[in-house]
Amino acid sequence: MSRLGKIPIAIPDKVKVGVSGTTVNVEGPLGKLSWVHRPEVKVRIEENRIVVERASDEKVVKALHGTTRALVAAMVKGVAEGYSKDLDISGVGYNAKMVGDKLVLALGYSHPVEFQIQKGLTVTCSSATTINVKGADKQQVGQFAARVRAARPCEPYNQKGIKYRDEVVRKKAGKTFVTGAS
């Protein structure tokens, strides 16, 4: 049996969970999330906790068991506490600002790079070089942060670009010019 899949998920007081067929609905103070799981796995609620069970011991079903449990746990945590990603911008003239419901980045290109903020996300720029992405859906927060980072990833030579706050970019040595006296 899956080690993670068999651990029940505790439901916090402020979160409501509903299961109808293969659809799991989770509602909390930070929003509502819904997800349709595979029919090989069964999700049920008992005694203020969520239990995930599988129908057989096939290899694919075992994988789905742990994955389903992890995704449902992420939904519960997301509507209760939320997820957050911090991005840092470094480079001369590189900056970020919010204009209405768009994130506008100046990254050394001939044009500003704009990102439309999706429904369910909160994006803030506390300074010109920091971006914070918050939301209830773990996948949506991570995907938006990855798209922003991909606009100008931090390069290893001059350390210019966008990186996650906890990301470590190792500095590489550049080419050295050696004069050859013959």
Same domain, 155 and 98: yes
State pLDDT tens for residues 71-124: 999 999 999 999 999 999 999 999 999 999 999 999 999 999 999 999 999 999
- Residues 90 and 156 reside in one and the same domain: yes
- CA triple 2-79-5, angle to 5 deg: 5
Mind listing the pLDDT tens digit for each residue in 5-38? 889 999 999 999 999 999 999 999 999 999 999 9
Place of tokens 């911008």: 89
Q: What is the pLDDT of residue 2?
A: 56
Average of per-residue pLDDT across 54-58:
90
CA distance 116 to 148: 11
Structure tokens given for 5:
């899949």
- Domain assignment present for residue 88? The answer is yes
Q: Is residue 138 domain-shared with residue 91, that is, in the same domain?
A: yes
Phi, psi (5° rounding) for residue 79? Answer: -75, -20
Of residues 138, 140, 131, 126, the one with CA closest to residue 103: 131
Residue after which a domain boundary falls, among 39, 62, 80: 80
Are residue 72 and residue 87 in the same domain, yes or no?
no
pLDDT value at residue 115? 96
Distance separating alpha carbons of residues 178 and 62, to the nearest angstrom: 59
Q: Are residues 60 and 17 in the same domain?
A: yes
Q: Are residues 105 and 148 in the same domain?
A: yes
Whether residue 46 is contained in a domain is answered as yes
**Residue 87 · residue 162 · CB < 8 Å:** yes
| Number of domains forming the structure of the chain | 2
Tokens representing 110 are 């001939």
Query: Residue 182 — very low, low, confident or very high, per pLDDT cuts 50/70/90?
Result: low
- Could you list the residue range(s) of the whole structural domain that residue 53 is in? 9-80
Secondary structure (3-state) at 61: helix
In a domain, 4, yes or no: no
Q: Is residue 169 one of the residues assigned to a domain?
A: no
Query: Are 151 and 134 within one domain?
Result: yes
Which domain CATH number covers 55? 3.90.930.12
Q: Output the pTM of the full model.
A: 0.88
What is residue 28's three-state secondary structure? strand
**Can you give the pLDDT at residue 133?**
97
- pLDDT tens digits, residue range 153-169? 999 999 999 999 999 99
What is the 8-class DSSP label of residue 117? P
Is pLDDT at 1 greater than 50 in this prediction? Answer: no
